[in-house]
Homo-oligomer: A and B are copies of this chain.
Amino acid sequence: MTVLEKLLDGDLSALARIISYIENREENYKKLLAKLYPKSGRAIKIGFTGPPGAGKSTIVNEISKMLAAEGNKVGIIAVDPSSPFTGGALLGDRIRMHDMPSDGSVFIRSMATRGSTGGLAGATNNVTIALDAFGFDFVLIETVGVGQVELDIINTCDAVVVVLVPESGDSIQALKAGLMEIADIFAVNKADRPLSASIVAELNNVLDIKREKTGWKLPELPTEAVNNKNIDTLLQELKSFIEFSQETGLFEKHRREQIKKKIFSIINFDLAGIMESKIGGVENLDSLVNDIFNGKTDPFTASKKLLKLSDLD
């Protein structure tokens, strides 16, 4: 059997190997993804984003245990863009798995793609395709949500939970940063802390605008992940949202948009390579660099010229 066949046969070590292959964008990773893609589409993908220390991992762990207890297979992708500094991805996986079902119903994979070719953009989405094709019923993606990574999550998930903590100012910052637009559910975790009730009330007011537009109740739930308080309600609300989304056609519309974005993202990635070899081959590139270095022109004017010269525009 090939590694791909082993993966489709449910072999977890084949899955792990293929994830690494995709993550590192090795030679034929796109051909592999093209083969995996038709087997994907069945998994429900849920994103969890929020500040470091908000309790995302604990929430994701509890949710995955509940889903597994209902007979589901759950894949978790923990994206930690700063992980080279924060203890290392693999170690984190082992610590987290300690508390989890040992029957193979829950699989955790951390991604610390710092420095990998092409960066994080698109990588989470590609890895999700592998987990989906493997046969997980749910794929949970967890991230602090920074820039490109966050976009990747919106372009990958069917539902997004934004996890906040009751710290003064954080909820307003989150709303300003556009998290209202991407959130389908807000969890105000560590709800035993003083400011919790006022944060929930604050959110409640602002979210009414979005509620009117979409028809979705957009819940903001106080949770206490470490004490497993209200996590069952969070899971219920998630299921309600998926149901709402499927019934109203939002689910399908969203997935079609994601396909379009995926096409753009693949082409954009390819174009960067094409451009670098075309522009790199332009005869007068070095003399142009020289002119810029000597202050005769600037990179912005020069780029315009090169784009014309290279026939790319």
- A86 contacts the other chain (CB 8 A): yes
A194 close to chain B: CB less than 8 A = no
Q: Which residue of B38, B85, B146, B150 contacts A295 across the interface (Cβ within 8 Å)?
A: B38
Indicate if the CB atoms of A268 and B271 lie closer than 8 Å: yes
Residue of B nearest to A252 (CB): B293
Among A112, A174, A259, find the residue whose CB has the most chain B CB atoms closer than 10 A: A259
Contacts of A285 in B (CB 8 A): 260, 263
A63 to nearest B CB, angstroms? 21
Which chain B residues lie closer than 8 Å to A260 at the CB level? Answer: 285, 289
Kindly state whether residue A307 has any CB partner on chain B within 8 Å: yes
Inter-subunit contact B271/A271 (CB<8 Å): yes
Across-interface contacts of A268 in B (CB, < 8 A): 271-272, 275
> Whose C-beta in chain B lies nearest to the C-beta of A32?
B300
Which residues does chain B contribute within 8 Å of A170, judged by CB atoms?
A: 85
Copy number in the complex reads 2
Contact present for B256 and A289 (CB under 8 Å):
yes
Q: Which of A176, A302, A303 is the most central at the interface, judged by chain B CB atoms within 10 Å of its CB?
A: A303
- Comparing A114-122, A205-213, A241-249, the segment that makes contact with chain B is A114-122
- Whether A179 contacts B84 by the Cβ 8 Å rule is yes
Q: Is A281 among interface residues, defined by CB-CB distance under 8 A? A: no
Give chain B nearest CB distance to A56 CB in angstroms.
12
Tell me which residues across on chain B come within 8 A of A95, comparing CB atoms. none
What residues of chain B lie closer than 8 Å to A38, measured between beta carbons? Answer: 295, 298
Instruction: Mark A residues whose CB is within 8 Å of B.
Output: 30-31, 33-34, 37-38, 41, 50-52, 81-88, 112-115, 119-120, 144-151, 169-170, 173-174, 176-179, 252, 255-256, 259-260, 262-264, 266-268, 270-272, 274-276, 279, 285, 288-290, 292-293, 295, 298-303, 306-307, 312-313
6 extra interface residue pairs, beta carbon distance < 8 Å, beyond A37-B299, A38-B295: A82-B146, A84-B177, A88-B169, A256-B293, A267-B303, A271-B313
The 8 closest A-B pairs by CB, nearest first: A84-B177, A51-B85, A37-B298, A266-B303, A34-B300, A262-B299, A115-B178, A81-B146
